[in-house]
Amino acid sequence: MALRDLPNDIKQYLIITGNYWTFTLTDGALRMLVVLYFHQLGYNALEVAMLFLFYEIFGVITNLVGGWLGARLGLNRTMNIGLGLQVAALLMLVVPQAWLTVPYVMAAQALSGIAKDLNKMSAKSSIKMLVAQGQEGTLFKWVAILTGSKNALKGVGFFLGGLLLTLVGFAGAMWLMATVLLFVWLFSLVMLQNDLGKAKNKPKFSEVFSKSRAINILSGARLFLFASRDVWFVVALPVYLSQQFGWDHWWIGSFMACWVIAYGGVQSSAPKLINREAVAKYPAKAANWAFLLCVIPALIAAGLHFYDWQQAVIVVGLLLFGLVFALNSSLHSYLIVSMADADGVSLDVGFYYMANAMGRLLGTVLSGWVFVEFGIVACLLVSTLFVLIAALATTQLPAKAD
C-alpha cells in the first residue's frame, strides 16, 4: 500500500517515526564520533565530558521552551526546526582540525542538543494526538515502538560512528550525515501535518512549569533514572574499555551499539513483558522495576572490585542493566504521555523531558569527573544511589482516577 493510501493518523505516525529514526542515527553517530575522535586527540574523560556540557544544558532549556512552542505553533514546526538545526550542527564540524577547539565543539554540540530535544519532544507529544482517548493499550504500544526503535537505531548510530571514523574520518562522516538528513528534512517540510499538537488556547510562557503533582514526581524520577545510566555509560565506560582493555574504536563502537540496539528491542517489547493495566491504574507499581535495577550497578561494582574477570563482569553486567533499565524507561515514556493533558500535550511532555535532560547533564558531567578522580567502580556506586532515589520517588505517584 502506498503512503498516500494509508489512513491519515498512520501516515503522520510513519512520517514522525521516520524523522525520529533518521535524526537518531545521526545523533548516536555524532556522540560516538566526538567521544572517540577527541579521546584519540588526547583529551581525558573529563575533557570529553565537557564537550557535551552545552549539549545537555541546552537540552534542559529546549524542552521547557520547546514544549511551549509546540503548543503554540504546532509540533510539525518544532520537529522540522530540530531537523534543520541538526543539519547546521553537523556542518559546523566540517572544518579543519585546528578549528575544533573546545569552545567551538561545545557550541556545535549546543546546537545539536537543541535540535535533539526539539525532535524528541515533538515525536513523543505527537503520539498523544494520534491515539484516540482511552486507548491506553494502543498508546503504550505506539510509545514503546517509537521509543524502542529510536534507541535501537541510536545503537546503530554508535556502530555507524565508529565505522565512519575508521573509513572516512571525522569530517567525511559529518558531510555524509548532513546530506542524508537534509533530504529527510525537505521531505518532512512538505508532508508533515500543519496543525499537529497545537493547543486550542495559546498557553502563556509561565505555563511551561508543570502544576501536576504526578508529572512533577515522574519528572524527578526520570531525572535520577537517566543520571544513573549516564554517570557510567556515556563517557566513563568507553574510556575505561579503551584504557583498561585496549579496545580500539571499532570494538568500542560495536559493543556499545549492540547494547543500545538490544536495549531498544526490550523497550519495544515492554507492552508484552509488563502488566500495563496495573501500571496504568497504579503508576507507583513502576517502582518495583526501579528497585530491581538499583541492585545491578552495585553488583557490577562489587564484581570489578573483588574479581579478576573484569571484562566478563562489564559485559554481563551491562546486558542485565540494559534489560531492566529499558523496561523502566519504557514505563516512564508511557506514563508521561498517558498523564499529559491532551490540550497542549507538549507542555507536560516538554517539562518531563527537561528533567530527562537535566539527568543526562548531571550524569554526563559526573561521568567524566568521578571517573578521573575515583574510577569506574565509584561511577557505578553513584549510579546505584541515583536509581534508588528514582525508585523512592516513583512510589509516590498517585493512583489514576477512574
Q: What is the CATH number of the domain that holds 260?
A: 1.20.1250.20
Closest to 106 in 3D by CA, of 147, 155, 58, 63: 58
User: Tens of pLDDT along the chain (402 residues)?
Assistant: 455 666 666 677 777 778 888 888 888 888 888 888 887 887 777 777 778 888 878 877 887 777 677 667 777 788 888 899 999 999 998 988 888 888 888 889 888 888 887 887 777 666 666 665 656 666 667 777 776 777 777 778 888 888 888 888 888 999 999 999 999 999 888 877 666 555 555 655 555 555 678 888 888 999 999 999 999 887 788 888 888 888 876 787 778 778 878 877 787 777 777 766 667 677 788 888 899 999 999 999 999 888 878 888 988 998 899 889 988 888 887 787 777 665 556 667 777 878 888 898 899 888 888 988 898 999 999 999 999 999 999 999 887 655
Q: Which cell is 140 given? A: 503504550
On whether residue 399 sits in a domain, the answer given is: no
On whether residue 308 sits in a domain, the answer given is: yes
Return the pLDDT at 77.
81
Which structural domain range is residue 386 located in? 3-197+207-394
In angstroms, the CA 226 to CA 57 distance is 15
Closest to 26 in 3D by CA, of 148, 102, 115: 115
Name the amino acid, one letter, at 211: K
On whether residue 238 sits in a domain, the answer given is: yes
Q: Are 159 and 22 in contact (CB under 8 A)?
A: no
Return the pLDDT at 390.
94
On whether residue 401 sits in a domain, the answer given is: no
On whether residue 402 sits in a domain, the answer given is: no
Return the pLDDT at 174.
92
On whether residue 163 sits in a domain, the answer given is: yes
Residue 134, classified by CB atoms within 10 Å of its CB into exposed (0-12), middle (13-18) or buried (19+), is exposed
Return the pLDDT at 128.
62
Return the pLDDT at 132.
57
In DSSP notation, 230-267 reads: HHHHTTHHHHHHHHHH---HHHHHHHHHHHHHHHHHHH
Name the amino acid, one letter, at 28: G
> Cell 556542518, residue?
91
Q: Which cell is 195 given? A: 496543525
Return the pLDDT at 188.
84
On whether residue 202 sits in a domain, the answer given is: no
On whether residue 400 sits in a domain, the answer given is: no
Return the pLDDT at 135.
65
Total domain count for the chain? 1
